[in-house]
Every structure is written in C-alpha cells, then in structure tokens.
Chains A and B, each alone.
Chain A
Amino acid sequence: MVSSKELLPRESLLWIFAAQFVALLPQFTQLPLWVAFAWAFAVYWRLEVFRGRRDLPGRTLRLAVIVLTITGLALSYRHWFALEPMIALLAISFTLKNLELVSRRDAFVSLLLAYFVSATLFVQEQTIPYALYGLLCVWVITAALAAQLGSSSARPRRALGISVRLLAQATPLMVLLFLALPRLGPLWSVPQDTSAGRTGVSDSMAPGDFTELSKSTKPTLRISFDGPIPPPEQRYWRGLVYSEFDGRTWRQGFGVDPHNGGRVYWKTGERLLPQMGPRYRYQVIQEASRSPWLFALAQPASETQGVGETADDRLVKRTPVYSRFAYEVRSWPRETLQAPVSLSNAERRLNLQLPSFGNNRTREWMASLRNQGLSAESVSTQLLAHFNSAFTYTLKPPALGADSVDEFLFASQQGFCEHFAGSYVFAMRAAGIPARVVAGYQGGEWVSGEEYLLVREYDAHAWAEIWFDGRGWQRVDPTAAVAPERVRNGLESAAGEEFLQESFFPLHRIGVLSKLRLKWDMINYRWYQTVVSFDADRQQNYLRRLLGEVSPLRMALLFAVPTLIILLGIGLWIARSANGRKLPPAERLYQRFCQRMARVGVRRRPGEAPQDYARRIASEKPQLADYANAVTAAFEQAAYGGDSSAQKTLRKLLRWHFWLRRTATDSRELVGL
C-alpha cells in the first residue's frame, strides 16, 4: 500500500509547480509584484531542498515568513473585505504551502487549491479569452493530479492525455447540469472587485469630461430589440440627470439618487404603468461600469431583478454594475403618454437653481427675453437659432475661464456636447424655464444585420430637457442644432478628421479591421447572450421550451433518462468486460450444445472430455446418440483440426429448427415443449 506520507518524487513536484504557475499567471498581473517574487522564491527553495542543498525551513523561519507576508498584505490592501485581498491571500497560502510540500496529502491540497484559484479568475472577467484560459488551467491541474500517481502516468503526454479524456467525457453531463440544475440567488453579499476605477458617464459633468470619453472605443451597451426599432434620431439612452450647477460642474443634486433619498420603484406594480402597451421592448447588456446607473429610452420600466425606476424616468441598479449585466426594458415614448399634471414646488426649485453669481451676460440676455413675455418654446427656438448661426461642433474646444457659459456663448463659440447642453440649460433656467441636463449615450452601430446595436464609449452624449406646462418634460438636443449629423450618423461623421485622432493606431480608418472588430464583438455578444447571462429566468424559459412545462415530473425525467441510458451502457460494458476472453466460435457452439443437453437432463461434468460426454449421452438418452456423436465429431474437427467446413457443419447442426425437427421425431417431451 502506498502510504499518504510517502515523499514526493521529482516529477510530482514539477507538475505541482506547473499547475500553480498556470493558475497564478493571470493573477500576477493584478496582485502586488512581491507576491510573484515570493512564489518564485518558494519554488526555488523547494527545488533546492529536493536537490539536497537545503533543508525545509524550520518552524521559526516559517512563522517569520507568515508574519512577513501577512504584514505585506496588510500594507498592500487597506480594505480587507474585498475581492483582491482575498485572492492575494489565496495566492499567498498557495506560495507558503510550497515550503512544506512534503507528503502526497500536501500535493493534493495544493492542487485542489489550484482549482479554486483558477475559478477566482472568472470572478474578475467572464470573456471568451478568460474562459479559454480557465479551461487550460483545469486541463493542466487535472493532468498534475493524474501525474501524482507516478510512474508512466507522470509522463507529460500521458498525463495531459488522461486529463483531456476525462474532461471530454465530463462535458455532456456538465452541459446538462448547467442547463437544468436550479440556481439559487446569492446566499450572502460578497465583496466585489473595486480596484478598477469607474468608467463611462459619471455622476458629474464638467467641461472636457465627454471629450475624454470620445477617445475611447470600448463597447458599453449592446441592445437587441424585440419588435419595433426606434429611428436613429430617437436613440437617446438616458442614464443620468444633472440638476445642480455650481458655475462650473453639473451634478445630480440632492434627492435624486436612491442613496440620498431619491424615490426608486424597485418592485413591478409599485408604479402605475401606462394603459397601452409599450412602444419598444429591448434587452440591454451593459459592460461593467462600477456605478449603479443603467441606460434606457425615456419612460422605461424593467422587470429584471434588482432594477428600479426613478422618479425622473431613469433605471438604476440596486448594486453597482461590477460585471456585465443584462436587463429587459419596456419603453413608452413621452409623446405617446398623458402629460403629467404639474411640477412639484421642490422639483421646480431644483430645476431652476442657478449659482448666485457669474455669467451675467447670459443672465441679462435671458432676462430681456423673459421680459418680452416669450413662451418657453420661443425662448428655446431663439437660443437654438443662436447656436445654429455661428457655433462649431469640435472635439477640441478651447479652455474656458470662470464665466464658462458667457465665454462659450459669446466668445469661443466652439464646443462639444457638454458645452451646448450645459449652457442651454443655464440659459433656460435664467429665463425662468425649468430645465435639466441629461447624460447618457446617443446612437449606436448595428452589428451583423441589425442583430443588436453596439454603443461604444465615444457615443457618450449630453442633452437637455425642459419643462413645458401641459406637455411635461421634453427633450431638446442643442448639439443637433449645430451638428445634426451627430445625432443621425454618430460622432465619426460629425467630428470628421478629429475623430479618434489621438489614438495610437488609427485602426478605425482600416475598413477590414473595423469589420473584424465588429465580428469579434458579435462573437462576444453571442457568448454573453448564451453563456454568461444565463440566469434562473432564462433557465426557466429554456426548460419550458425544451420540456413544454417545468414540472417536477418532467424535470425528474430530464435527469433520469440520460442517467438511465448512461447507466445501462456502463452496465452492459461491465457485463462484457467481466467475461474476460471471448471463446473461439467452435467452443461457443459447443457450449450451446452442452446447454441443450443439460436441458434434456444430461449435464456435462466439469472437465469431462467431449468424447466421454457423447458416450454418456448415448447411454442415458439413446435416441440422441447420433446427434451427440455428430456434434462432437464436428466440434473436434473444428476446434482441433482447424477445419472451417466442420465449423459450418457444427453451426448447421446447432440451428434451432434442425434441433427441433430431430427431437420432434423422437419425443416432444425431450425439449420440454
């Protein structure tokens, strides 16, 4: 018996280190650098021990190393209850385990830990490359487990071969479990990856913010429609509403976000939905943004778990979007709805708020317009006409000073969407019309024949909404007054030469490459649609389509039928494999003869020679003597003489009807008929 305390041989060690390396490699890019060095050092030490140049570290040294690494972790990470320190702790325990890798049991522990470490990789990213890499990890770790047995199993080709075979055989069952095993919701709240900064539209807007976003081609939203599709000039994906202005930066203001008192309807039915059906139904897949804002067309409603609707017609998620998130939305365009009655006093105050000083020229201009008694529409029209007359839409606006609105409206007259939206809202408020800035994305690019709309970071946009008594909030896009092609065709056509000018490789100019990029995005989208976003709801839908209805009986059948088929296969194989060697054909035929004779009462004794047996049959059942002699002679010729014609004769002699005819003439009771 192999005791579990047996020392590890060389190949076993090398396999363990290989498995650890594969599992840790992607983590090294995220972990502090010293963790990688600590691991390499521990491996070096263990190999030196194997060569006999060093001893395994003693207890005091090990204790010192543990204290040192824990201190290192404490210094590297401030928050303990987060994902990265946990992964770092796993990696460190992995490393330290190397210093006491002595017995077979230690090897098993180390490799089982490796499975877990490679799984934490998926918590960070769920893209196709990560999935493939994870598969590689499992492959190598399983091979390392196989190699622990030693001898021929430890050869790389053999170990990797065993691993591939096992994983391939496990795949069908895995697919079944993945599709059919019920999912529970999270059992407790878990730390999330907070290391990377927030991306995309933020909760404040200062001049220059959107210009930054316009440099990024990162995909943000993927939207697929079920039914009608809104025309390009209606594709405004609202994410945030800024109501508070301090003279330079627009912010959400108090009482908007759920965490500072904003009203959010989390449950369906909590808010009265319009009587008629929605115009648009669609699914949005949002990339990780690390903020809770979701993006949808105006007046949205969503039934996806954890998504709520705010009072200002936006969608928010209960927890920030830490990884790709898919949500179903229904939208009712505002013009199809009954206008809300009136604006509450608090809301009116909020949407008329202005800083107490600054931008006096604009204020004076608007005051004069207001004094003329113009309606909200005409003020807006005048302002937009002013934009249209002399303004330039550019990605490189000149820097603005303290009175940013004045400078923009009357001096520089060059700007990007945030300049237009910000100064428009400022001006409308100065004219006494409630107004607010809305940020989000506008437009999108069709991928693979209108399968879904891909919205990238550079589609980020800011526009305005103003309150008309009797009509409610209406969208006004001041940018459209200057550069209507921005709204119709996207940034690339509006910005022209300036588009992505600063990117190091202007890949978007090479047609083939941008097509390939879209192809790759489509593969990613499909991957996300089918694998990553497969949740309990989709599982239910899928099973309903597969089974007709999801009842306990049908679920049981779904599991039982494949299981029974597999068990039956294994059973047959066991029955076959246990029989050992297959007998030659002549022997098998003779066996059949013996069985028949046993049925009529003459059982062959163990070790009885065929000739003796035939003689005994002749004496006990004289009527069968001829038959027995013929069979015995044919058998002996076929088995020992190698005579193929004798085998044919034997086969003929043993045919069922032949046997029946023969016995029927003698006596029916012989065969027990």
Chain B
Amino acid sequence: MANSWWSVCCARLMSSQPEPMSVPRISDNNASRNLFRVLGERWLNRRAPRARAITLNHSRLFILPTRAGLGFLLVIALLWLLATNYENNLVFALTFLLVSMFAVLPVHTFANLSGLRLQLLGTRSAFAGDFAEAEINVSREGKRQREWIELSWPREQGSHVDLCEHKSVDTCISLPVVRRGRVQAPRLRVESRFPLGLFCCWSRIDLDVEFLVYPRPVSAGPLPLGGATAEGDFGEVQPGGDDYAALKPYQAGDSLRHIAWKQYAAGRDLYSKDYERKTDRRLWLDWNLLDGRDSETRLSNLCHWVLEAEKEGIVYGLRLPGISIGPSFGPEHQQQVLQALALYPERGR
C-alpha cells in the first residue's frame, strides 16, 4: 500500500517537468531519472528563476566549508586537546582564536559574492562537438573589492574573475555542445573561496543561456557543382536549369562538377553527366543529393559543403524538405543557412 503510494508520487513528480521546455537541456538527459536531482532542480527553479541579468543575494547563495575547512576544524580539535591536556591557557586562546576566525570567515566569503551582478551579453554559436561560448558581464556596486570569483559550468574549466580596481569585467565561458539545435545551457556555477579557501560560497544561476548549435561538419566529398537535381520535389525548378542528356561513365579529366553524385551516393559507379548546354555556375546544396543516408548525416554533410562553398567563394543555395534558401553568398547568408540546418526538425529519433 505504502509502496504504491510512494511510486505514484514519484511517477507524478517525474512526469511533471519543472517547467515546460521546448528545447532540450543537456543536463536533463540522464539526470531526470534521479528523483533528488529533479526535486533539487525544481526547488532551484522556484528559488532562483531564470533571467538574463541576476544579482546574487542570500536566496541564491549557498555556503559550506571546503575540505581544507574540515582540515582546519581537525587542527582546532587537536589544539583543543593539547590545551586541555596541558591545561595551557595560551593554547586555549589560540584555539579559540582559530574557532572565532572560522566563525567570521563565512561572512567574508558570502560578502565576496553577495550583491554581485551577472548579465548575459551574448552567446556564440558553435558546431556540434565543439565548444559554445557565452559572454558574461560581472559587475559590482559599492566599495567592497571582489576577488577570486570562478564562473563555470560544472565539471568544465571555467574562468576566474577579479573585481579589484574595475567595477565591471566581461568574461567568456565555454561549454562543450554535442547535439545540434537550440541548446539550453545548464545552470552556471558562480563560486568563491575568498579569503582563506576554507569556505566555498556558490550560486547556481540560470542566465537563460541558449546556444544555437550547428550540425557537426562531416565531409561528403567535393562540392556538388552543377549537380542539383530538378526533380520537382520541391516544385521549384531553377530558371535556366540545365538539362543533361545522359550519364556516361566517369573518365579522368571530366569536371568534378559533372559527376552524378546522386547515383554515386546511392552506391553505383562514378558517372559523369553529359550536358548539352553550359552548366549553371550556381550551386544548390540539396537534401536529395544525399539520398540513402540518415537525416543527421545529411545535415552534417550539407554543413560541411556550406563551409566549403563559403571558403571557395561560390554562390550557393540550400534545399531541405520544406525549406529553400535562394543562392547567395556572405556571412549573413551562411548564418541563415547554418541556422536552417541547425533547426531542421528531427526525425526518427
């Protein structure tokens, strides 16, 4: 009876997500199985809600002694024993001095972070498998100098900030990203062990950091110049499109742009397309060119081609099922195309 009641409770807790989220959170992949983790996250979400600018205060800050702090307590205990056994008042005084210092320390550690303002300035996109970077501004009010503040995503190398002379500092923190799409970063950990390293004060804040992650570029051979198919799948025939007469076996010396990629990709031999007219210089990076592969691989290959085309200065367009971006060139175009690739809906997952 009790067991079933418990399992019902757990199931309810597990099924109800902390907040409706349309985008996947990296940290929630496996952790959602852990009841305590979920409860903790829910509690944190209530206590320290998401915002792009956050001032650290007592509701967000936590403080505990570090391992060195526990060692310090051990030394205090040993000193107390020494003092008691030798009935030595100066050792007692020293012991109590250290005890009092231990009591004063958390106030300093806390003050080092309290009132600190963190603001997300922007994020930089990245390719899956690479590091995405967030630019964060850390600033202080008042006269108190802030020292040795660590910003990090847990288990990753973070960055360390001092606010002694300056009142405001910008810093970059990177997070490894694995999957393409919009990725919500986990809570950022802000911590400080100032002044003696015996206490650690930390906060886990959600600065609403969201990365746009492009597919991982995977090479799929040279650019498919002139290889665009006009099968009418998308009902959009390129004006002035080239009709090719026939396929002929590939011979050394044939232009790479004339290779029949689709056939090659389907596993047949290498064929060259025999054109009757001059080929179109514009490049279409087409979903259908990569038939036979799973969608993620296709996106990765297309991503690689986009980068190649941009590098070689070729005007290119993108065709995905339901999306078509006309041929163009330049960083903005690339951005647009890569975003389309990043946000292409997942299938079969």
Counting CB contacts under 8 A, is B8 at the interface?
no
A126 CA to B98 CA, complexed, in Å: 18
Chain B residues near A516: list those with CB within 8 A: none
Counting CB contacts under 8 A, is B4 at the interface?
no
Q: Shortest CB–CB separation between residue A138 and chain B, in angstroms?
A: 7
A190 CA to B85 CA, complexed, in Å: 7
Most buried by B among A123, A126, A134, A174: A174
Q: Shortest CB–CB separation between residue B198 and chain A, in angstroms?
A: 8
A residues 186-230 in Cβ contact with B at 8 Å: 186-190
Check A177–B105 contact: CB distance below 8 A: no
Chain B residues near A116: list those with CB within 8 A: 75, 78-79, 82
Check B84–A115 contact: CB distance below 8 A: no
Q: Shortest CB–CB separation between residue A530 and chain B, in angstroms?
A: 10
A511 CA to B130 CA, complexed, in Å: 85
Given contacts A152-B162, A171-B100, A190-B86, contact A580 B117 (CB under 8 A): yes
Counting CB contacts under 8 A, is B94 at the interface?
yes
* Mask of A107-140 contacts with B, CB within 8 angstroms, 1/0: 0110010011011101100100011001000100
Check A134–B90 contact: CB distance below 8 A: yes
Check B68–A108 contact: CB distance below 8 A: yes
Q: Shortest CB–CB separation between residue A504 and chain B, in angstroms?
A: 31
Given contacts A108-B197, A151-B148, contact A578 B114 (CB under 8 A): yes
B residues 237-274 in Cβ contact with A at 8 Å: none
A residues 563-622 in Cβ contact with B at 8 Å: 570, 574-575, 577-581
Q: Shortest CB–CB separation between residue B272 and chain A, in angstroms?
A: 57
B residues 110-124 in Cβ contact with A at 8 Å: 110-111, 114-115, 117
A279 CA to B85 CA, complexed, in Å: 36
A178 CA to B99 CA, complexed, in Å: 11
Check A577–B114 contact: CB distance below 8 A: yes
Find B195's partner among A166, A188, A190, A323 (CB 8 Å cutoff).
Answer: A166
Check A2–B150 contact: CB distance below 8 A: yes
Counting CB contacts under 8 A, is B305 at the interface?
no
Q: Shortest CB–CB separation between residue B61 and chain A, in angstroms?
A: 9
Find A188's partner among B67, B68, B85, B117 (CB 8 Å cutoff).
Answer: B85
Q: Shortest CB–CB separation between residue A125 and chain B, in angstroms?
A: 9
Most buried by A among B92, B117, B156: B92
Chain A residues near B110: list those with CB within 8 A: 574
Check B94–A152 contact: CB distance below 8 A: no
Counting CB contacts under 8 A, is A153 at the interface?
yes
A227 CA to B207 CA, complexed, in Å: 76
Main secondary structure of the interface of A (DSSP, over half): helix
Counting CB contacts under 8 A, is B57 at the interface?
yes
Counting CB contacts under 8 A, is B93 at the interface?
yes
Counting CB contacts under 8 A, is A466 at the interface?
no
| Chain A residue with the shortest CB-CB distance to B84 | A184
Check B195–A146 contact: CB distance below 8 A: yes
Check A181–B117 contact: CB distance below 8 A: no
Counting CB contacts under 8 A, is B164 at the interface?
yes
Given contacts A123-B91, A577-B114, contact A142 B196 (CB under 8 A): yes
Find B55's partner among A150, A185, A580 (CB 8 Å cutoff).
Answer: A580
Q: Shortest CB–CB separation between residue B143 and chain A, in angstroms?
A: 12
Check B89–A186 contact: CB distance below 8 A: no
Chain A residues near B75: list those with CB within 8 A: 112, 115-116
Chain A residues near B100: list those with CB within 8 A: 169-174, 177
Chain B residues near A575: list those with CB within 8 A: 58
A165 CA to B117 CA, complexed, in Å: 26
Chain A residues near B117: list those with CB within 8 A: 580
Check B89–A1 contact: CB distance below 8 A: no
Check A178–B162 contact: CB distance below 8 A: no
Counting CB contacts under 8 A, is A447 at the interface?
no
Counting CB contacts under 8 A, is A183 at the interface?
yes
* Mask of B133-172 contacts with A, CB within 8 angstroms, 1/0: 0000000011000011010101111101010100000000
Find A153's partner among B105, B114, B195 (CB 8 Å cutoff).
Answer: B195
| Chain A residue with the shortest CB-CB distance to B194 | A149
Counting CB contacts under 8 A, is A162 at the interface?
yes
Given contacts A166-B101, A170-B104, A177-B96, contact A108 B71 (CB under 8 A): yes
Counting CB contacts under 8 A, is B319 at the interface?
no
Find B88's partner among A4, A126, A173, A189 (CB 8 Å cutoff).
Answer: A126
Check A186–B71 contact: CB distance below 8 A: no
Given contacts A170-B101, A174-B93, contact A149 B197 (CB under 8 A): yes
A189 CA to B84 CA, complexed, in Å: 11
Counting CB contacts under 8 A, is A531 at the interface?
yes
Chain B residues near A18: list those with CB within 8 A: none
| Chain A residue with the shortest CB-CB distance to B106 | A570
| Chain B residue with the shortest CB-CB distance to A153 | B147
Counting CB contacts under 8 A, is A535 at the interface?
yes
A105 CA to B89 CA, complexed, in Å: 31
Counting CB contacts under 8 A, is B333 at the interface?
no
A587 CA to B193 CA, complexed, in Å: 36
Check A186–B84 contact: CB distance below 8 A: yes
Check A142–B101 contact: CB distance below 8 A: yes
Check B86–A166 contact: CB distance below 8 A: no
A residues 516-538 in Cβ contact with B at 8 Å: 531-535
Given contacts A122-B88, A149-B194, A187-B84, contact A1 B108 (CB under 8 A): no
Q: Shortest CB–CB separation between residue A421 and chain B, in angstroms?
A: 36
Check B196–A146 contact: CB distance below 8 A: yes
Q: Shortest CB–CB separation between residue A32 and chain B, in angstroms?
A: 23
Given contacts A112-B71, A116-B75, A171-B97, contact A186 B90 (CB under 8 A): no
Counting CB contacts under 8 A, is B72 at the interface?
yes
Counting CB contacts under 8 A, is B280 at the interface?
no
Check A186–B85 contact: CB distance below 8 A: yes
Chain B residues near A578: list those with CB within 8 A: 55-59, 114-115
Find A170's partner among B97, B147, B164 (CB 8 Å cutoff).
Answer: B97
Chain A residues near B148: list those with CB within 8 A: 149-151, 153
Chain A residues near B108: list those with CB within 8 A: 166
A326 CA to B81 CA, complexed, in Å: 22
Check A122–B115 contact: CB distance below 8 A: no
Counting CB contacts under 8 A, is B9 at the interface?
no
Find B90's partner among A4, A122, A150, A171 (CB 8 Å cutoff).
Answer: A122
Q: Shortest CB–CB separation between residue A191 and chain B, in angstroms?
A: 10
A604 CA to B150 CA, complexed, in Å: 38
Q: Shortest CB–CB separation between residue B82 and chain A, in angstroms?
A: 6
Check B103–A170 contact: CB distance below 8 A: yes
Given contacts A148-B197, A580-B115, contact A122 B104 (CB under 8 A): no
A120 CA to B90 CA, complexed, in Å: 10
Counting CB contacts under 8 A, is B87 at the interface?
yes
A315 CA to B81 CA, complexed, in Å: 29
Q: Shortest CB–CB separation between residue B177 and chain A, in angstroms?
A: 19
A1 CA to B150 CA, complexed, in Å: 6
Chain B residues near A264: list those with CB within 8 A: none
Counting CB contacts under 8 A, is B343 at the interface?
no
Check A119–B82 contact: CB distance below 8 A: yes
A138 CA to B97 CA, complexed, in Å: 9
Check A1–B193 contact: CB distance below 8 A: no
Chain B residues near A108: list those with CB within 8 A: 68, 71, 197
A150 CA to B55 CA, complexed, in Å: 26
Check B107–A123 contact: CB distance below 8 A: no
Chain A residues near B111: list those with CB within 8 A: 577
Find B71's partner among A109, A149, A178, A181 (CB 8 Å cutoff).
Answer: A109
B residues sitting closer than 8 Å to A (CB atoms) are 55-59, 67-68, 71-72, 74-75, 78-79, 81-101, 103-105, 107-108, 110-111, 114-115, 117, 141-142, 147-148, 150, 152, 154-158, 160, 162, 164, 189, 191, 193-198
Task: List 25 interface pairs A-B (beta carbons < 8 Å), by A numbering.
Answer: A1-B150, A1-B191, A109-B71, A112-B71, A115-B94, A119-B79, A122-B90, A123-B91, A126-B89, A138-B97, A148-B197, A152-B147, A153-B194, A170-B101, A172-B100, A174-B96, A178-B89, A178-B93, A181-B96, A186-B86, A535-B87, A570-B107, A574-B58, A578-B56, A578-B58
Closest 5 CB pairs of A and B: A578-B57, A170-B100, A173-B100, A122-B90, A177-B96
9 more contacts with CB within 8 A, not counting A153-B195, A535-B89, are A1-B154, A112-B68, A122-B94, A134-B94, A172-B100, A173-B96, A533-B89, A534-B89, A581-B141
